Amino acid sequence: MKFTITDLEAGSRLDKLLVQLVPGLGRAAAKRLFDEGRVRVVAPERTGRGRVASKGDVAAAGEVIELDLEPDDASGAAIPEPDAPLQVILERHDLVIVDKPAGMPTAPLKPGERGTLANALVGHYPEMANIGFSSREPGLCHRLDTETSGLVLAARTAKAFAALVNALKEARLDKRYLLICQSGDLPEIGAIEIPLAPHPKDRRRVYPCIHPRDVIRYEPRPATTTYRRVALAGLWELVEARAPKAMRHQIRAHFAAIGHPLAGDTLYGGPAAPGLERHALHAEYIAWAGSAEVPAFTARSPLPPDMQAIVGTPDMASDSTAEAAALDDELDDDVDEEDEDDVDEGDEDDDEPSDGADDTGAR
- pLDDT (tens digit, 9 = 90+) per residue, 150-192? 999 999 999 999 999 889 888 899 999 999 999 888 999 999 9
Domain with CATH 3.10.290.10 in the chain: 2-74
Span(s) in the chain for CATH 3.30.2350.10: 174-333
Q: Is the pLDDT of residue 347 over 80?
A: no
The mean-pLDDT minimum among 100-114, 323-337, 343-357 falls in 343-357
Q: Which CATH architecture has domain 2-74?
A: Roll (3.10)
> Of 188, 183, 197, whose CA–CA distance to 35 is shortest?
197
* 81 Ramachandran zone, left/alpha/beta (phi>0; psi -120 to 50): beta
Find all residues with CB under 8 Å of 307, minimum gap 6, and list them. 178, 180, 238, 276, 280, 282
Residue 122 has pLDDT above 80, yes or no: yes
| pTM of the predicted structure, to 2 decimals | 0.73
8 A C-beta contact, residue 350 and residue 144: yes
d(CA 143, CA 138) in angstroms, rounded, equals: 11
Residue 134 pLDDT greater than 90, yes or no: no
Report pLDDT digits (tens) over 271-300. 999 999 999 999 999 999 999 999 999 999
Find the range with the poorest average confidence among 57-66, 85-94, 328-337.
328-337
- The rounded distance, in Å, linking the Cα atoms of 239 and 184 is 13
Q: Return mean pLDDT, the chain.
A: 84
**CA–CA distance, 293 with 110 (Å, rounded to integer):** 34
Which position has the higher pLDDT, 137 or 358? 137
Averaged over 20-32, what is the pLDDT? 72
Phi, psi of 7 (to 5 degrees): -60, -35
The highest-level CATH class for domain 174-333 is: alpha beta
Percent above pLDDT 70 for the chain:
82
Give residue-wise pLDDT tens across range 321-345. Answer: 445 555 555 554 443 333 333 333 3
